[in-house]
Amino acid sequence: MKRRDFLATSLLGATALTKVARGQAAASPAREYYQLRKYKLVSGPQTALAEAYFADALIPALRRLGMGPVGAFRLDIGPETPTYYLLIPGSPVEELVNVDFALAQDEAFMKIAQPFWSAPATAPPFERIESTLLAAFAGWPKVTPPAKGKRIFQMRSYESPSQRDHLLKVEMFHKAEFEIFKQVGFRPVFFGDALVGPRLPNLTYMLSFTDMNELNTLWDGFKTNPEWKRLSTSSRYGFEAILNNVSNLILSPLSMSQI
């Protein structure tokens, strides 16, 4: 390719990606933000204490703040078990990032939360909490809870080697991947672009399934889908590996989960 052609192509690509970024940033009023909390626990009293805290104190208080539906999940397949995850939707983003300050002003919450919130250093309620702030994709602006009943969840995170490649992956979802997911029968719960957290740039999304058999069957269908093959090998998305790490967790809902 001649230098001037290469530069022209690069400029057009950069312009298109800028539009993607602006589309993500120009959120509609209905667009949500997510706080994804990871609670690393020790088997035994910590798991029971965390579940009671989620069910009796935290999730009811979040609902009083207008946040929800809140997802509460146990890690079944993945590193660092036992680990619980909370997905907290909220908008505007300022309310979500300041949620702990709001909780501290809720007398009913503080009374019920005391065993977890104010546990002594000699008996901590968790090993560590990690939190990631995500913005819902413009094309999937709200959590979509699955039907109640038997269900498992797959939570996948895609890390990219550069901001350009990250925006290309986000663009792939909006251009065609949402529709391909629909064709193969996937049931998405949320898609989020990480704003603050570890291992940036990355995105995270969640799918629901009846069981592992359905999960494997639908992914087999996705991998052989002709439209996916065309999309992933196109010159725009297949010119290099736009992902350099994929994490894949299998979760099950805790009894108090609203998702």
Indicate whether this model's pTM tops 0.75: yes
Q: How far apart are the C-alpha atoms of 22 and 17, rounded to whole Å?
A: 9
CATH 3.30.70.100 in the chain: give the residue spans.
33-135, 139-252
Question: Which of 229, 227, 231, 216 is CA-nearest to residue 186?
Answer: 216
Residue 211 three-state SS: coil
Cβ contacts of 211 within 8 Å, gap of 6 or more: 150, 152
- Looking at domain 139-252, its CATH architecture is 2-Layer Sandwich (3.30)
pLDDT at 16 over 90: no
pLDDT one-digit tens code per residue, 201-230: 999 999 999 999 999 999 999 999 999 999
pLDDT one-digit tens code per residue, 86-137: 999 999 999 999 999 999 999 999 999 999 999 999 999 999 999 999 999 9
Predicted pLDDT at 30: 80
Range 33-135 has CATH code 3.30.70.100: yes
